[in-house]
Chain A
Amino acid sequence: MKRSITRLLMAPSVLLLLAWMLVPLSMTIYFSTINYNLLYPGRNNFVGWMNFEFFITDPGFWIAISNTLILLISVLLITVVLGVALSALIDKPFFGRNVVRVLLISPFFIMPTVNALIWKNMMMNPVYGIFAWISQSLGLEPIDWLSDYPLMSIIIMVSWQWLPFAILVFVTALQSQDTEQKEAAQMDGANGWHIFRYLTVPHLARPIAVVVMIETIFLLAVFAEIYVSTGGGPGYDSTNLAYLIYNQALLQYDVGVASAGGLFAVLLANIVAFFLIRAVGKNLTV
Chain B
Amino acid sequence: MAYLNITDLQKHYDNYHALRGINLAIEEGEFIVFVGPSGCGKSTLLRTIAGLESSTGGNIELDGRDITELASSKRDLAMVFQSYALYPHMSVADNLSFALRLAKEEQSVIDEKVKSVSASLQLDKLLERKPKELSGGQRQRVAIGRAIVRQPKVFLFDEPLSNLDAALRVQMRLELARLHKKLGTTMIYVTHDQIEAMTLADRVVILNAGQIEQVGTPLELYRSPNSRFVAEFIGTPKMNLIALDNVVRENDTLHLQLLNASIDFPVARTRGPLPDSVVMGVRPEHMHIVESGGDIIGKVELIEHLGSEAYTHVRLANDQTIIVKAPARTTIKDGEEIHISLEREEVILFNQNDRVFSVIAEEACHD
Contacts and interface: CB of A to CB of B under 8 A. Distances in A.
Contacts of A184: 79, 81, 85-87, 146
A186 B81 CA distance: 12
B222 interface: no
B72 A180 contact: no
Given A188-B150, A202-B89, A183 B81 contact: yes
A199 interface: yes
A141 interface: no
Interface stretch (B6-14, B97-105, B310-318): B97-105
Contact of A189 (B79, B86, B99): B99
A198 B86 CA distance: 12
A48 B70 CA distance: 78
A66 interface: no
Interface in B348-364: none
Contacts of A183: 50, 52, 72, 79, 81, 85
A208 to B, nearest CB: 13
A194 B52 CA distance: 17
Given A188-B99, A188-B146, A194-B102, A181 B72 contact: no
Majority DSSP secondary structure for residues of A touching B:
helix
Nearest to A202: B89
Majority secondary structure of chain B interface residues (helix, strand, loop or mixed): loop
Contacts, number: 62
A121 interface: no
Interface string B63-96: 0000000011110011101110111111000000
B103 A187 contact: no
A180 B99 CA distance: 16
Contact of A180 (B74, B85, B89): B85
Interface string B33-67: 00000000000000000111000000000000000
B100 to A, nearest CB: 9
A278 to B, nearest CB: 20
A188 B89 CA distance: 16
Nearest to B81: A180
B52 A186 contact: yes
Contacts of B99: 188-189
A181 B73 contact: no
Contacts of A91: none
A42 to B, nearest CB: 64
Interface in B93-134: 98-99, 102-103
Given A178-B83, A181-B87, A188 B52 contact: no
Given A187-B73, A190-B73, A191-B73, A180 B82 contact: yes
A188 B98 contact: yes
Contact of B87 (A189, A198, A205): A198
Given A184-B81, A187-B77, A203 B72 contact: no
Contact of B73 (A178, A188, A199, A202): A188
A178 B98 CA distance: 17
Nearest to B74: A189
A284 to B, nearest CB: 15
Nearest to B150: A188
A202 B86 CA distance: 13
Contacts of B71: 186
A198 B81 contact: no
A203 B85 CA distance: 13
Contacts of A181: 85-88
A105 interface: no
Interface of A: 178, 180-181, 183-191, 194, 198-199, 202-203, 205
13 contacts: A178-B85, A181-B85, A183-B81, A184-B81, A186-B71, A187-B79, A188-B146, A189-B73, A191-B73, A198-B87, A199-B87, A203-B88, A203-B89
Interface of B: 50-52, 71-74, 77-79, 81-83, 85-90, 98-99, 102-103, 146, 150
Given A181-B87, A185-B87, A187-B72, 19 more contacts: A180-B83, A180-B85, A183-B81, A183-B85, A184-B85, A184-B146, A186-B51, A186-B52, A186-B71, A187-B52, A187-B77, A187-B79, A188-B102, A188-B146, A189-B74, A189-B99, A189-B102, A190-B98, A190-B102
